[in-house]
Amino acid sequence: MTGKLLAARNAWVLLLVISAVSFLAAELVGQRTVAIAAIMIIAAVKIAVILVRFMDVSTAPVAIRRYLYVWTGAVAAAVIALWQVSATAG
């Protein structure tokens, strides 16, 4: 297996593990903080490892690339804000 294929597999395993952590934390342990943090890590890994490493995100125009990074960060922040509101109300 070549280096790139190995790296893709490792990224996949990492994403699955983080997904499992988020699910177990939210559903079984009731730790929404961990669940939401895990989801944010998934998004970051997805962008950083899969897109940058394998999908040649560097070919995107700089403005669009920045926009997508900001978008991911903004949605992640929105999810955290949602969780915060939900936790406060709960």
Partner 1 sequence: MHAHDGGPVTTAGARHQRAPAIWIFILMDCSSFGLLFLVFMIERMRQVALFDQSSHHLNAGLGFFNACVLITSSWFVARANVFGREGQFDAARRQLWIGMAIAAIFAVVKVFEYYVKVSAGITVKTNAFFLFYYALTGIHLVHYLGGMVILGILAQGPSPFLPDAEARPHYLRWLEGGSLYWHMVDLLWIFIFSILYLIGAR
Q: Which residues lie near partner 1 (CB under 8 A)?
A: 2, 4-5, 8-9, 11-12, 15-16, 19-20, 22-23, 26-27, 30, 32, 35-36, 39, 42-43, 46-47, 50-51, 53-56, 58-61, 64-65, 67-68, 71-72, 74-75, 78-79, 81-83, 85-86, 89-90
Distance CA 43, CA 64 (A): 17
Residue 22, class by beta-carbon neighbours within 10 Å (0-12 exposed, 13-18 middle, 19+ buried)?
buried
CB 41 within 8 A of CB 18: yes
Closest approach, Cβ 15 to partner 1, in A, equals 5
Closest approach, Cβ 83 to partner 1, in A, equals 5
